[in-house]
Amino acid sequence: MTDLDPYERKILRELQRDANQTTAQIAERVGLSASPCWRRIDRLEREGFIQRRVAIVDRHKVGLNAHVFAQVKLNAHGRANLDEFAAKIREYPEVLDCYVLMGSVDFMIRVVAEDINAYERFFFEKLSQLPGIQEITSTVALSEIKATTALPI
């Protein structure tokens, strides 16, 4: 982040807040005119500071009411084939995030499903069938206290 000037930091904050704003709106909010603001946004995109712009969809409104965190522990054979596990996890649209962890478990996976029955099907038909799985611990999220995609820039 050392490559960012104060205007670029403000631009990133604005885009995280609402990426649907026009360049003119962002420029006004950060204290620049439109052309230099556009050039900065263009640079931020070209250099990968801005990876993509997306719509954030309310999962409940599209019928994905179950939100589950699964901790996965692999056996020794599974750890030797981490790439195979990672490739399969990437194929599952139910998996929103997957992280490699240090500690007593190997992965933390965030999964959404229509309901607990749908998660159970995902668990038994897909997740638990992956090679090298030793143990899976699922924790159901009851409510959401804070969820953000905005980084503290």
CATH classification at residue 34: 1.10.10.10
Contact 79, 132 (CB under 8 A): yes
Residue 42 CB neighbour total at 10 angstroms = 12
In this structure, are 81 and 134 located in the same domain?
yes
The band of 2, judged by pLDDT with boundaries at 50, 70 and 90, is: low
In this structure, are 13 and 73 located in the same domain?
no
| Half-sphere exposure of residue 141: CA atoms within 13 angstroms, side-chain side | 17
Query: CA 91 to CA 86: how far, in whole Å?
Result: 9
Residue 30 CB partners (closer than 8 Å, separation 6+): 7, 10, 11, 14, 37
Does 21 score more than 60 pLDDT?
yes
- Give domain status of residue 52, yes or no: no
CATH of the domain at 102: 3.30.70.920
Number of domains in the chain: 2
Contact 72, 95 (CB under 8 A): no
Domain containing residue 16: 6-46
Contact 114, 64 (CB under 8 A): yes
Does 77 score more than 90 pLDDT?
no
Does 26 score more than 90 pLDDT?
yes
Contact 112, 94 (CB under 8 A): yes
pTM, whole model, 2 decimals?
0.88
